[in-house]
Structure 1
């Protein structure tokens, strides 16, 4: 038990109280006493044994945010103790951020917010004092009223910082646009700020968190156009508040607030990006949100409902917009907005700041001016009049990126030519990187990269590595979407530009960067580097379009035409970044290989200096399947030796689909489509996905010998069909060679129709034997032992009492006659034929389109080498590029 000394010391009308909690002071008259101490301010009144005591402005313990709201195929239900480690994602607070501006606006705001408002305290004390001294209290109120009014006005004057902005030129239109676009947020029903985030890494966590890939802790926020109460200004102030923190966007800076402390961040240091997320919501659904799917409170490994739970309620999967606002100094705000598509315009407006161009006096000074009326904030920005006092105008002087120590600026990519004139720089030993990008539009100053594909290779054609990912840059124009086919929904979960670009730059560093129209790719790379405050990597640019037009005679030099010239075929992955980058590689190799004279570089590529790189979470775009085999799917992903961690829950789901497919020995069209949808979510390369397919194939045939020639024809057929369906082309080719060497007929398409059907056919009558042969010819699996996986049993002796008939009765399996079995087989075959017919119709349509293109005059697509190269770029023809 601890002891302490409590003592009171009087000094005139004041009493000082010494206690274990600290020192307090009070004053008053008999029957009423007011004071302050370590636990807050208080009043105490009463006589004759009846007393009243109240603590005013006591410090209440802040309620911690409710942990866990899952997202990214995530769930919003309450956190379960499943071992998910939550990490803070709020970045630096205003206490930790150093102001980026040189004036004293932040200092004055901090002083105003920390000042005690004595006026209201005086009113409270005067009211209570008059109340306990009635009827003489009326005199107290009359005498105290003027002093209290003066104190309130004085507090308002000293707790208000006045800023008058005189915004001109493009900065005025930019800020006006920002305020206009802010309506997207203010009109949204719900805004949240993410405080904590934790990755789901185990199967148990995945099952008990509704299939969540990540758990989030959120706090409800709001978006307005009214600034902090300490600021009086002549413009609207776009603002975001969440708990005790807030962001306020002024024309020359963004104010950051935590509690009563302010800091600021210049727009040159601010980065904003928008996107979308899938969020499983269990709270009240916002009316402006879009539901895109559903899940359950408890899920199984495949994402379906866990049947072990009775009250396993269904939860909606909502599509929310996201807005990330960050700075190199540590600012980090992750926002979710209920209104779909509400953040793209806001992020674009924030990113389009032309830099501080606000007219201001040479020594900007913010005055604290007494105010007698409450400050009102107009909905639209209004420029201060030209007659406004210069001392009342505030802003920054300078240009964007004026501090070279803090910001790396982009420069143009140095370029070289391929020439027949011998130089010291041969292509031998040069490492090339073919690049293609898809964008939201054609203007690098306003549009952004939405997909990037890279192929690193040598002059002899050896592919060293590949890299590809979508980039979370929504807002593609209609024309751009018609070209590349990327909708904003496809960008869910894709890395932001500032996450993908460092790895892409490290990938291409020290190589010759090859593009078909380098002006386009180079312009967007330079703009992206400037936007993310990165330096362009050391590369040497090389344009195959420029080379083709100088070296070749022909009518068309587009990438499509040159790929047709180089390979004789058509690029089936056209307008996917990786597919077009691979096409650029083919064009360059064809130029090097078929040139009548050896081609040289006009200058040497930079030295291959390793560049530090951190992997980003790639999100690759799969191509559509033209058949049930997923070979095209695996080929559409980067073929890379780099091992990526990927997304563990998504990988588990991908493996679950593979396991189901391998167990019944086939891959249906539905399963192939499910693999296509799930492949992007795994964040793995094509090489890693192929390894998963190899393991699934091996698990399906664990006891089969590697001596395939010693296996039965049926076993070899099943192994071949599954390898072919899983896209394991090398393995399928080896098995096919063994089948051909054994003089066996190759498996027909019909041999896959009934591979998911397991039945039992008992007896040795001719009708039974014919039925068994027909079922095997269509791929049905004939069971030797009767288990619950058998669909039905066909027999000519249904009353038999042997073990197989008895087991079928025990399991409740249908026991049918050969005639009924033949009817069921016919129905199953007819259903499979209809599916195969529909798929074949799609394949035929694709083939017809391909033949129509191939029917064009071959000479049109086949340019010839000029007798000599041009030393200038010939004028472009309207049909040529």
Structure 2
């Protein structure tokens, strides 16, 4: 687990495998084989055996030095219930954030729009959220991270680590602050599939908003989108500002760290997050509140079991109660892309095992939705 002593070992670890011992072993093997050959001390097959032994020695030296460049962290069986529960919530929030169509890091000088304002596309660079490689660290649990420019934040069970210029610094969860807000922007780049389009304007327009007839050839409509804005800060961390195309996912991430979400957030998004936290019990409670007591008393065990399966499926895919086929399918595709074997092929075995398990859960959840659609699809194509 992460301690100050372990962190010091990580930062002081050798960055590369030393070449000198390998070259010395290689040269020594060749010299010994040459002497044995010249003086005919041993038969040819014995000299070949010496060369083979030298090759094994070089391989052993390489693996020994390679192991020193990585520090192992063991968590399985070492986490108390509170830490494990919080880490699970953090992991779910990051997985939801990673499923966003686009995530950008905003430049520090960007002025964010006030309520009701619409701002041009800000100065921004692509950021990445997902299961990331942790240089010099091998953990036996999947580690999610945020990679923005030259900075990275890795989320471990007991706290986070910042990674800048090949150095890790501790970032305790109780000092990590996440603020959420929303902003309307003119989106002149490719429009993400999950962006919320609230209006359109013209590239060249009159004061009344109509298109300027002087620019008929080059005048196109530009979507006005509502993006989620995250500000991640800590006493030891320069502010990291992210623009997220999937606004509900950004809101859920902020809530995980205790942020108060703007009241401008649509009501249905809050409902979806509430269900994600409470799981099957919340799904059943919502069903009970939507029907009178008499109907509830006569509901069959089969119906209750069906609702429980749907609640589990919704939680696995991170969708709200009442999600339509298009929304469910989009959530499935995003998660399947995150956990696809090709995406985690170069990561640690523990990460590949975790993604394999998540793929099973995701596939089972999607299969449950398709089964329900086939059995009892409603007129508007919505179930659950």
CA deviations 1:607-651 (Å, max 9, x no partner) are xxxxxxxxxxxxxxxxxxxxxxxxxxxxxxxxxxxxxxxxxxxxx
- Does residue 295 of the first structure (1) align with residue 201 of the second (2)? yes
Match in the other structure for 1:339 = 246
Match in the other structure for 1:108 = 9
Q: How far apart are 1:256 and its partner, in Å?
A: 0.8
- Secondary structure of 2:4 counterpart: coil
User: Does the 8 Å contact 2:70/2:137 carry over to 1?
Assistant: yes
CA deviations 1:409-441 (Å, max 9, x no partner) are xxxxxxxxxxxxxxxxxxxxxxxxxxxxxxxxx
Q: How far apart are 1:343 and its partner, in Å?
A: 1.5
Q: How far, CA to CA, are the matches of 1:288 and 1:185 in structure 2?
A: 12
Q: How far apart are 1:255 and its partner, in Å?
A: 0.7
Q: How far apart are 1:164 and its partner, in Å?
A: 1.7
- Secondary structure of 2:236 counterpart: coil
CA deviations 1:61-90 (Å, max 9, x no partner) are xxxxxxxxxxxxxxxxxxxxxxxxxxxxxx
User: Does the 8 Å contact 2:121/2:187 carry over to 1?
Assistant: no
- Calculate the TM-score normalised by the size of structure 1: 0.25
User: Does the 8 Å contact 1:254/1:267 carry over to 2?
Assistant: yes
- Determine which of 88, 92, 97 is the counterpart of 1:176: 88
- Secondary structure of 1:351 counterpart: coil
- Determine which of 172, 175, 179 is the counterpart of 1:266: 172
- Determine which of 214, 221, 233 is the counterpart of 1:326: 233
Match in the other structure for 1:190 = 102
Q: How far, CA to CA, are the matches of 1:449 and 1:287 in structure 2?
A: 23
Q: How far, CA to CA, are the matches of 1:213 and 1:287 in structure 2?
A: 20
Q: How far apart are 1:147 and its partner, in Å?
A: 5.4
Q: How far, CA to CA, are the matches of 1:104 and 1:302 in structure 2?
A: 64
Alignment of 1:199-238 (within 5 A): 199=111, 213=119, 216-238=122-144
Match in the other structure for 1:243 = 149
- Secondary structure of 1:331 counterpart: strand
- Does residue 351 of the first structure (1) align with residue 263 of the second (2)? no
With over 3 angstroms needed to count, the CA separation of the structure-2 counterparts of 1:473 and 1:346, relative to structure 1, is farther
Q: How far apart are 1:172 and its partner, in Å?
A: 1.7
Q: How far, CA to CA, are the matches of 2:57 and 2:200 in structure 1?
A: 63
Q: How far, CA to CA, are the matches of 1:330 and 1:476 in structure 2?
A: 29
Alignment of 1:790-809 (within 5 A): none
- Secondary structure of 1:312 counterpart: coil
Q: How far, CA to CA, are the matches of 1:111 and 1:225 in structure 2?
A: 24
Q: How far apart are 1:450 and its partner, in Å?
A: 5.2
- Secondary structure of 2:12 counterpart: helix
Q: How far, CA to CA, are the matches of 1:213 and 1:121 in structure 2?
A: 59
Q: How far apart are 1:257 and its partner, in Å?
A: 1.2
Q: How far apart are 1:287 and its partner, in Å?
A: 2.4
Match in the other structure for 1:553 = none
- Calculate the TM-score normalised by the size of structure 2: 0.52
- Does residue 149 of the first structure (1) align with residue 49 of the second (2)? no
Q: How far apart are 1:163 and its partner, in Å?
A: 1.6
- Secondary structure of 1:193 counterpart: strand
CA deviations 1:47-67 (Å, max 9, x no partner) are xxxxxxxxxxxxxxxxxxxxx
Q: How far, CA to CA, are the matches of 2:262 and 2:194 in structure 1?
A: 26
Gaps of 5+ in 1: 1-100, 127-138, 202-210, 353-447, 452-469, 481-881
Q: How far, CA to CA, are the matches of 2:256 and 2:158 in structure 1?
A: 14
Q: How far, CA to CA, are the matches of 1:330 and 1:160 in structure 2?
A: 25
- Does residue 281 of the first structure (1) align with residue 193 of the second (2)? no
Q: How far, CA to CA, are the matches of 2:204 and 2:65 in structure 1?
A: 56
Gaps of 5+ in 2: 27-47, 275-384
Q: Give RMSD over aligned pairs.
A: 4.1
Match in the other structure for 2:359 = none
| Structure whose alpha-carbon radius of gyration is higher | 1
Q: How far, CA to CA, are the matches of 1:306 and 1:142 in structure 2?
A: 79
User: Does the 8 Å contact 2:181/2:262 carry over to 1?
Assistant: no
Q: How far apart are 1:335 and its partner, in Å?
A: 1.4
Q: How far apart are 1:313 and its partner, in Å?
A: 2.6
Q: How far, CA to CA, are the matches of 1:148 and 1:450 in structure 2?
A: 60
Q: How far apart are 1:175 and its partner, in Å?
A: 1.2
Q: How far apart are 1:301 and its partner, in Å?
A: 4.7
Q: How far, CA to CA, are the matches of 1:150 and 1:170 in structure 2?
A: 42
CA deviations 1:679-724 (Å, max 9, x no partner) are xxxxxxxxxxxxxxxxxxxxxxxxxxxxxxxxxxxxxxxxxxxxxx
Q: How far, CA to CA, are the matches of 1:299 and 1:198 in structure 2?
A: 24
User: Does the 8 Å contact 1:450/1:472 carry over to 2?
Assistant: no
CA deviations 1:213-234 (Å, max 9, x no partner) are 3652222122113451321112
With over 3 angstroms needed to count, the CA separation of the structure-2 counterparts of 1:144 and 1:217, relative to structure 1, is farther
User: Does the 8 Å contact 1:299/1:306 carry over to 2?
Assistant: yes
Q: How far, CA to CA, are the matches of 1:300 and 1:241 in structure 2?
A: 41
With over 3 angstroms needed to count, the CA separation of the structure-2 counterparts of 1:214 and 1:291, relative to structure 1, is closer
Q: How far, CA to CA, are the matches of 2:224 and 2:20 in structure 1?
A: 48
User: Does the 8 Å contact 1:281/1:316 carry over to 2?
Assistant: yes
With over 3 angstroms needed to count, the CA separation of the structure-2 counterparts of 1:287 and 1:472, relative to structure 1, is closer
CA deviations 1:369-395 (Å, max 9, x no partner) are xxxxxxxxxxxxxxxxxxxxxxxxxxx
Q: How far apart are 1:337 and its partner, in Å?
A: 2.2
CA deviations 1:170-202 (Å, max 9, x no partner) are 22212112212322122223222112434499x
Q: For structure 1, which segment, 226-235 or 295-304, has the greater mean C-alpha deviation from structure 2 after superposition?
A: 295-304
Alignment of 1:252-263 (within 5 A): 252-263=158-169
Structure number with higher relative contact order (C-alpha < 8 Å, ≥ 6 residues apart): 2
With over 3 angstroms needed to count, the CA separation of the structure-2 counterparts of 1:186 and 1:119, relative to structure 1, is farther
User: Does the 8 Å contact 1:449/1:473 carry over to 2?
Assistant: no
Q: How far, CA to CA, are the matches of 1:318 and 1:471 in structure 2?
A: 14
User: Does the 8 Å contact 1:247/1:256 carry over to 2?
Assistant: yes
Alignment of 1:500-579 (within 5 A): none
Match in the other structure for 1:117 = 17
With over 3 angstroms needed to count, the CA separation of the structure-2 counterparts of 1:280 and 1:174, relative to structure 1, is same
- Secondary structure of 1:188 counterpart: coil
Q: How far apart are 1:326 and its partner, in Å?
A: 1.0
User: Does the 8 Å contact 2:93/2:249 carry over to 1?
Assistant: no
User: Does the 8 Å contact 2:202/2:221 carry over to 1?
Assistant: yes
User: Does the 8 Å contact 1:120/1:148 carry over to 2?
Assistant: no
With over 3 angstroms needed to count, the CA separation of the structure-2 counterparts of 1:327 and 1:117, relative to structure 1, is same
With over 3 angstroms needed to count, the CA separation of the structure-2 counterparts of 1:111 and 1:335, relative to structure 1, is same
